[in-house]
């Protein structure tokens, strides 16, 4: 969980709460590390995969509807700028 917290610049306690909630919903599972029994990997369950795909599809439908009046050039520019903004958060 520390690696995830570091990657997203969040506190480990925040990640821990989110992991616990996702586990309770059956979205993820823990796989013990065979070399270090204190460590584990988080894995996406089949339920988690289905939920992720459902959310991706729903998000794409919303974006298509919201951006339907935009030109192709405007959509490309928006994508470029949004990617830039996202990278700024990770710096």
Based on the number of CB atoms within 10 Å of its own CB, is 16 exposed (0-12), middle (13-18) or buried (19 or more)?
middle
pTM (whole model) above 0.85:
no
- 3-class DSSP state for residue 25? coil
Q: Please tell me whether residues 52 and 76 are part of one structural domain.
A: yes
Q: CA gyration radius for the chain? A: 18
Q: Please tell me whether residues 91 and 50 are part of one structural domain.
A: yes
Q: Please tell me whether residues 34 and 56 are part of one structural domain.
A: no
Domain boundary among 10, 27, 44: 44
Cα separation, 15 vs 20, in Å, equals 8
Q: Please tell me whether residues 90 and 55 are part of one structural domain.
A: yes
**Total number of domains in the chain:** 2
* Per-residue pLDDT reduced to its tens digit, 4-46: 899 888 999 999 999 999 999 999 999 988 888 788 889 999 9
Write out the residue range of the structural domain in which residue 70 sits. 46-91
Q: Please tell me whether residues 2 and 17 are part of one structural domain.
A: yes
Based on the number of CB atoms within 10 Å of its own CB, is 20 exposed (0-12), middle (13-18) or buried (19 or more)?
exposed
Q: Please tell me whether residues 81 and 71 are part of one structural domain.
A: yes
Q: What is the mean pLDDT of residues 86-90?
A: 84
């Amino acid at each position: 969980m520390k690696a995830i917290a570091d990657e997203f610049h969040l506190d480990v306690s925040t990640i821990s709460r989110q992991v616990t909630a996702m586990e309770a919903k059956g979205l993820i599972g823990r796989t013990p590390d065979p070399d270090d029994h204190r460590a584990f990997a988080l894995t996406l369950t089949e339920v988690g995969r289905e939920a992720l795909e459902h959310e991706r599809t729903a998000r794409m439908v919303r974006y298509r509807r919201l951006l339907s009046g935009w030109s192709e050039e405007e959509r490309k520019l928006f994508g470029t700028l949004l990617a830039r903004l996202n990278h700024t958060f990770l710096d």
